[in-house]
Amino acid sequence: MPKIIALAGKGGVGKTTISALLIKYLSEKKMTPILAVDADANANLNELLGLELGITIGQIRKELKGEMQPNMTRDQYMEMKVHQALVEATGFDLMAMGQPDGPGCYCAANQHLAMTMDHLADNYQYIVVDNEAGMEHLSRMNLRDIDYLLVVSDPSARGIMTAKRIAELTGPLGIRIKKKCLIVNRVPEPASEELLAKIREAVDSTDLPLGGLLPASNELVAQEIAGKSYLDLADSVPVVKKAFAIFSEFLN
Ligand SMILES: Nc1ncnc2c1ncn2[C@@H]1O[C@H](COP(=O)(O)OP(=O)(O)O)[C@@H](O)[C@H]1O
Ligand SMILES: [Mg+2]
């Protein structure tokens, strides 16, 4: 059974950035094979990993609503298409969920998707899901048991309270979380004692254990501007080092 790691948090806090660093970590530690799922409609995890996207799961579901090739069942068709959607890299595969459902009934398509995902999941040791703020894709993919939830926040008290509320969205979706933690991202370096105290106070008022703080990093910005993969960042870069320490502690 693969371990499922999901990222959550409001837009722009660093979920995709941390997903890319996590995939780097798991690959380098040989905790492979990994399935990376980009569950943001506006897929961009591939860019941070230096990959081109294939067709998205959203496109497949749309096709599944229409006419079928007569010599194939819907399950076979879905299975074939999902394999086309997988982008293969060293140690991991990447898949993008794409656009949400348009008008019409997707129940059957989603049922086939859930079954195909169950089969597919068996091929991996870890599944990393980079979510958008709402986490509906998780239930759509039939991922109801999350081993690790990483909730990402900006370094403000209000941001941390928002992270707490987003973590609570999993309840109504029927998703069970085994272990969760908060990562406070883009903390200015050096951080004032005042800011650190504010962060600690806000974290203490939530039921989210603190995974750690990640610094604002010029190296990440430069890498993104240059269009280079985060996988090529040196492990000695401070934000990479700190992220790896957090992952190592949290995933043990
Ligand atoms: N620790 C960091 N230091 C500097 N820039 C960061 C950091 N984390 C994220 N960013 C930048 O912030 C922006 C939003 O990050 P992103 O990971 O796309 O957020 P999300 O996926 O939550 O919407 C990106 O331009 C990213 O490069
Ligand atoms: Mg993102």
Nearest to 57 by CA among 89, 88, 95: 95
Query: Is the pTM higher than 0.75?
Result: yes
Distance 50 CA to ligand 1 centre (A): 16
User: Which pLDDT does position 94 carry in this prediction?
Assistant: 97
Evaluated on CA atoms 200, 206, 207, 211, the torsion sign reads: negative
pLDDT surpasses 90 at 144: no
Q: Which ligand has the minimum distance to the alpha carbon of residue 166?
A: 1
Strand pairing category for 210-215 and 126-131: unpaired
Residues 56 and 43: beta-carbon distance below 8 Å: yes
Neighbours of 20 (CB within 10 A): 29
pLDDT surpasses 90 at 191: yes
Range name among 4-8, 67-71, 140-144, 189-193 with the lowest pLDDT average = 67-71
**Hey, which of 220, 224, 229, 237 would you mutate to test ligand 1's pocket, going by the most ligand atoms within 8 Å of its Cβ?**
220
Q: Terminus-to-terminus CA distance in the chain, angstroms?
A: 17
Q: How far does Cα 235 stand from its chain's mean position?
A: 21
Q: What is the DSSP string of 58-99?
A: HHHHHHHHSPPPTTS-HHHHHHHHHHHHPEE-SSEEEEE--S
User: Which pLDDT does position 214 carry in this prediction?
Assistant: 98
Q: Which residues place a Cβ less than 5 A from the ion ligand 2? A: 15-16, 40
Query: Comparing 155 with 41, which gets the higher pLDDT?
Result: 155
Q: What contacts 177, CB < 8 A, 6 or more positions away?
A: 146, 149, 167, 170
Average pLDDT, the chain: 92
Ligand 1, atom nearest to 19 Cα: 17
Pocket residues: Cβ below 6 A from ligand 1: 9, 11-17, 185-186, 214, 216-217, 220-221, 224, 239
Domain count, the chain: 1
Distance 14 CA to ligand 1 centre (A): 4
Domain extent at residue 67: 3-250
Mean pLDDT along residues 178-194: 96
Mean pLDDT along residues 170-195: 94
Chain segment 76-127, per-residue pLDDT in tens: 888 899 999 999 999 999 999 988 777 777 777 778 888 888 889 999 999 9
Ligand 1, atom nearest to 214 Cα: 1
The CATH number of residue 141's host domain is 3.40.50.300
Q: Furthest-apart CA pair in the chain: how many Å?
A: 67
